[in-house]
Homo-oligomer: A and B are copies of this chain.
Amino acid sequence: MKHSYENIVEIEHVLRKMSGIIKRKGREILNDFPITPPQFVALQWLNEEGDMTIGELSTKMFLAFSTTTDLIDRMEKNHLVERIRDQKDRRVVQIHLLEKGKKLINEVLDTRRKYLADILEDMSTEDVDQISLSLHQLFAKMEDDII
């Protein structure tokens, strides 16, 4: 299906502007927490996908191995994560999210959810359901494209 050029121009524009607002708002929210944006992204991945090696985390974050190592060093110093030996293969070191890190990431996520709940407050349930559905459809296509 070839979609109208006007529609594509419009969607690219609104996605670009929306991403800008989400980035800005996300940074604003992080100002009230003792973590940096890359630390937030790292905590997010560990919270969602559990223990992983620095190599795996580097790949997910699109960062160099050395940059991720520095990031994890700082987070370990702040007791947000710890390095542990893999139970199956003692030569492998995994990054494990600590209680303090888990609490922090959930506080940040809750603040983001509160912002979004405010944004959607005066919309009807039908509109919000439709927005959720549309976003999921679009996101699924974007994910397909990556894999």
Contact = CB atoms under 8 A, between A and B. Distances in A.
Contact of A135 (B11, B26, B121, B123): B11
- A41, A116, A117 interface centre (most CB from chain B within 10 Å): A116
A24 interface: yes
- Looking at chain A, what size class is its interface with the partner chain? 35 or more
Contacts of A142: 18, 21-22, 25, 119
Nearest to A116: B12
Contacts of A109: 12
Name the residue in A115, A117, A134, A136 with the highest tally of chain B Cβ atoms < 10 Å from its Cβ: A134
Interface of A: 1-3, 5, 7-12, 14-26, 41, 44, 62, 109, 112-113, 115-125, 127-139, 141-143, 145-146
